[in-house]
């Protein structure tokens, strides 16, 4: 089974690239983030390629989905006891069981700035994710949380840690939240890099970040033993960050023996 995660940064803008990639990479399941479309506006062209679509979006911002050629059972939208921001729930998490594997596609809040209310919301949201993951892990089946976590797990996961002083994505509370998530029984499935020595997954559109490889590893795959022990390969498909009209994220692809 081939499972991938990709922040497409607008499903409408990235649809031609997504369709071409689905046909070339042939993933069985894809977790998408940052759809920027409502649930009922998800492009029908994806289903025409043989994928069942479980989507969760409200319109202009956020939005997540799971695409599957091996079925989508027990679909769930939103985390247990998920916090709200500005009195509104944001579409940032969706789950489905696909071919016997339980998957969550997540788009963790950015946080904006450590002093901003969105940062406190991010930490509360991560606690809700931890509680949800703990409950899912207890079921014993293969299980993984995939998506854009908006956190670099270590200093090695950013191109120059000295440039991030006082910034989100690398603060101690955020990293402690990731540690708490791992303590539910999950492992960080670190992909290999297809070029250079760092498996970055995100590069800003500005300041030639991609050609300079000034990137970050913030798109993560956290999996329990039943999932992680069957991984045969994991890589960042860096080619999808090239060319005309790419997302600022590249897909992370994981191959399983299942």
160 annotated as a binding-site residue = no
Instruction: Confirm whether residue 45 is marked as ligand binding.
Output: no
Q: Whose CA is closest to 236, among 252, 214, 218, 215?
A: 252
Cβ contacts of residue 183 below 8 Å, gap of 6+?
none
239 annotated ligand-binding residue? no
Number of residues that this document lists for the chain: 258
Bridging pattern class, strands 2-7 and 252-256: antiparallel
Q: What is the C-alpha to C-alpha distance for residues 77 and 55, in angstroms, rounded to an integer?
A: 8
224 is in an annotated binding site: no
Is 147 within 8 Å of 103 (Cβ atoms)? Answer: no
d(CA 136, CA 184): 9
Q: Rounded CA gap, 55 and 32, in Å?
A: 9
Asked whether 34 and 77 are in contact (CB, 8 A), the reply is no
- Check if 40 is active-site: no
196 given a catalytic annotation: no
Residue 50 per-residue DSSP state? T
- Catalytic option among 28, 148, 157, 237: 148
148 classed as catalytic = yes
Confirm or deny that 237 is annotated as ligand binding. Answer: no
Per-residue tokens: 58: 């409200």
Structure tokens at 120: 């406190």
Number of H helices, E strands in the chain: 6, 14
150 is in an annotated binding site: yes
Pairing between β-strand 202-203 and β-strand 187-188 as defined by DSSP bridges: unpaired
Q: Which of 51, 107, 119, 202 is catalytic?
A: 107
Residues catalogued as catalytic: 107, 148, 249
Which residues are annotated binding-site positions for Mg(2+)?
A: 7, 34, 148, 150, 248-249
Which residues are annotated binding-site positions?
A: 7, 34, 148, 150, 248-249
């Amino acid at each position: 089974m081939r499972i991938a995660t990709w922040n497409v940064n607008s499903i409408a803008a990235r649809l031609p690239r997504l369709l071409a990639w689905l046909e070339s990479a042939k993933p069985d399941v894809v977790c998408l983030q940052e759809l920027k479309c409502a649930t009922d506006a998800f492009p029908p062209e994806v289903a025409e390629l043989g994928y069942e679509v479980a989507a969760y979006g409200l319109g202009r911002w956020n939005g997540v989905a799971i695409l599957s050629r091996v079925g989508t059972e027990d679909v769930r939208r939103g985390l247990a006891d998920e916090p709200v921001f500005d009195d509104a729930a944001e579409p940032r998490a969706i789950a489905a069981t696909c071919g016997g594997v339980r998957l969550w596609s997540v788009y963790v809040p950015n946080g904006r700035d450590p002093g901003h209310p969105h940062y406190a919301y991010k930490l509360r949201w991560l606690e809700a994710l931890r509680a949800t993951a703990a409950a899912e892990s207890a079921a014993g089946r293969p299980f993984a949380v995939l998506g854009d976590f908006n956190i670099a797990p270590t200093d090695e996961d950013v191109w120059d840690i000295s440039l991030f002083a006082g910034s989100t994505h690398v603060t101690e509370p955020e990293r402690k939240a990731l540690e708490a998530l791992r303590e539910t029984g999950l492992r960080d499935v670190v992909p290999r890099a297809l070029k250079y020595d760092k498996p970055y997954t995100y590069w800003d559109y500005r300041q030639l970040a991609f050609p300079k490889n000034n990137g970050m590893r913030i798109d993560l795959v956290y999996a329990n033993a039943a999932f992680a022990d069957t991984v045969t390969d994991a890589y960042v498909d860096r080619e999808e960050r090239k060319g005309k009209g790419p997302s600022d994220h590249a897909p992370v692809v994981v191959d399983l023996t299942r």
